[in-house]
């Protein structure tokens, strides 16, 4: 079973259980991925996070209930996993621009969120591939030690930027920094992750046998491992496009699988405040 079949199987599973409690663990099991890897691959192939996809599909399916049944709105809300009619109405209005009650009265035509077809996404991704005319280097990295600041962050949030700013102010406190002065952004692999919107990130620098760790910082040893190395060029705001290419385009047809290790961003002299160019190291087997 290839990557596309695995993710489509998870999509089909979600569809069959929209009115039930859906755990990400049970969904990820359909695709035979760890939860951490499933989050990344699902988002890249489907276009939304797992949580967003489930909510949007439930809202769209509830539209049919509003028009074809005589159930009260609160009943439909609870049936599709919303805690209250107020929560359901707020989500429905945000998605469709009209309240459920008004929609039921008017029967106004709205654009629904359709079930994902991963094979169509594959065709779109093949077009996307022309925007990334490169293939990664496969490298075997040696053991590295780093020291840095760690925080729980959200993808694309100011938290990451703020963490790097704080690290920049305190970097001089770290002794025995390596001569190349390479900084590493480490996206930790967490097999026990429960919320895909949160992950742990370390802003750090390579060190050589330091004797002490500055207060509030942590030390990490990066094991020797194989990585696929991808360059990111341009605005940091477009970083998600690079990751979507990696997980949604390159990985499925690469012949590699993701290793259960941290993903690393290597920042060196190529990056400046106005121009970002750095390498992303994806652990593979």
3-state helix, strand, coil in the chain (%, to 5): 45, 20, 35
> Which pLDDT belongs to residue 226?
96
- How is 201-230 classified by DSSP, letter by letter? EEEEEEESS-S---TT-EEEEEPPEEEEEE
Would you list the domain boundaries of the chain? Answer: 3-106, 137-283
> Which pLDDT belongs to residue 81?
94
Local structure of residue 261 (DSSP, 8 states): S
Q: Which residues contact 52 (CB under 8 A, 6 or more apart)?
A: none
Cα separation values, 277 from 47, 123, 155, 218, 235, Å = 25, 28, 19, 26, 9
> Which pLDDT belongs to residue 268?
80
Q: Domain 137-283 belongs to what architecture?
A: Alpha-Beta Barrel (3.20)
Per-residue pLDDT of the chain (285 residues; tens, 9 = 90+): 689 999 999 999 999 999 999 999 999 999 999 998 999 999 999 989 999 999 999 999 999 999 999 999 999 999 999 999 999 999 999 999 999 999 999 877 888 999 999 887 777 666 666 666 678 999 999 888 999 999 988 776 788 889 999 999 999 999 899 887 789 999 999 877 766 667 899 999 999 888 899 999 999 999 999 999 999 888 777 888 888 889 988 999 899 999 999 999 998 876 555 567 899 999 999
> Which pLDDT belongs to residue 190?
85
- How is 23-81 classified by DSSP, letter by letter? -HHHHHHHHT--HHHHHHHHHHHHSS-HHHHHHHHHHHHHHHHHHH----HHHHHHHTT
> Which pLDDT belongs to residue 153?
85
CATH superfamily entry for domain 3-106: Homeodomain-like (1.10.10.60)
Reported pTM? 0.85
Closest CA to 257 of 6, 14, 51: 6
Is there a shared CATH topology between the 3-106 domain and the 137-283 domain? Answer: no
d(CA 43, CA 50): 7
> Which pLDDT belongs to residue 97?
93
């Amino acid at each position: 079973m290839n990557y596309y079949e695995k993710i489509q199987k998870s999509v089909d599973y979600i569809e069959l259980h929209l009115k039930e409690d859906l755990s990400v663990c049970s969904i990820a099991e359909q695709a035979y991925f760890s939860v951490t890897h499933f989050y990344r691959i699902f988002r890249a192939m489907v276009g939304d996070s797992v949580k967003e996809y489930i909510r949007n599909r439930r809202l769209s399916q509830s539209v049919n209930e509003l028009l074809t049944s005589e159930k009260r709105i609160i009943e439909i809300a609870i049936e599709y996993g919303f805690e209250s009619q107020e929560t359901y109405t707020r989500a429905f209005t945000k998605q469709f621009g009209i309240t459920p009650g008004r929609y039921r009265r008017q029967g106004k035509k709205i654009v629904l969120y359709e079930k994902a077809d991963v094979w169509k996404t594959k065709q779109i991704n093949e077009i996307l591939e022309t925007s990334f005319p490169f293939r990664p280097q496969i490298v075997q990295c040696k053991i590295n030690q780093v020291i840095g600041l760690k925080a729980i962050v959200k993808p694309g949030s100011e938290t990451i930027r703020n963490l790097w700013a704080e690290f920049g102010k305190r970097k001089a406190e770290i002794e025995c920094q390596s001569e190349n002065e390479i900084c590493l952004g480490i996206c930790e692999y967490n097999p026990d992750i429960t919320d895909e919107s949160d992950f742990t990130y370390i802003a750090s620098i390579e060190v050589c046998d330091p004797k002490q760790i500055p207060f509030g910082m942590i030390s990490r040893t990066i094991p020797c491992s194989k990585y696929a190395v991808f360059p990111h060029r341009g605005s940091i705001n477009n970083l998600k496009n690079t990751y979507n290419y990696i997980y949604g385009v390159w990985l499925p047809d690469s012949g590699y699988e993701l290793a259960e290790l941290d993903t690393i961003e290597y920042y060196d002299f190529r990056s400046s405040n106005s121009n970002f160019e750095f390498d992303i190291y994806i652990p593979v087997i």
